[in-house]
Structure 1
Amino acid sequence: MTDISLDKAFHALSDPLRLKIVESLQYTEYSVRDLCAHLGVSQSKLSFHLRVLKEAAIVRSRPHGRWNYYSLNLQKFAALEQHLADLRRYAAAQPIPVYPSDPPK
């Protein structure tokens, strides 16, 4: 995963409403209309946030009739999880720095 895609993904997940969207989509897909009703937000506001999530590959959409249905992109979450696990392993392997109580002058 590139730094740019990580940046987009973490930026997309940094907004409280976008996190609510992700939480809502974790068990089922939603149409835009149903997701608006579920979250109590306007379609224009939801569409903006869905676009950010889609550009970061956090969600996927599929057309069905008049509506687009959104679901989580589980491959992206697996890649993010792997990246965080790699960072955790790296951090665990590093010695804990010991700082003197009085820094040198």
Structure 2
Amino acid sequence: MTTYVITVPGTFVNGVPDAARSDIERRLRSRDPKNTDLGESEELSLLSVEEGGMFSARVEVEAADRAGAEKEAVQLVSRALRDSGFPERDAPLGPPFVTGIDREF
């Protein structure tokens, strides 16, 4: 298995209150990329929100390949958003991408 840091971009269509943002971060905390060497050295944040509602969620996942890692990351972020009160129409996601890889041999 390989450990990946995956970035999942998206947009909060109607903004995000601080309490909701904290809830999303809490739901993703176990997948915080700061648990990886890359996340720690690059000081990657779990959830970044820009003016205008654009956001990036960065999560750590273990998978056999890049496609599997990206799929799992989207599922994790989608579930955290939905469970925090953001249906897909209120926080659509963009295509995920690999931010870092830590291969285990």
TM-score category (smaller protein): under 0.3
Structure with more of its chain in helix, by fraction = 1
* RCO comparison, higher one (Cα < 8 Å, 6+): 2
Normalized per residue, which structure has more strand?
Answer: 2
TM-score scaled to structure 1, two decimals?
0.27
Q: Name the larger-Rg structure.
A: 1
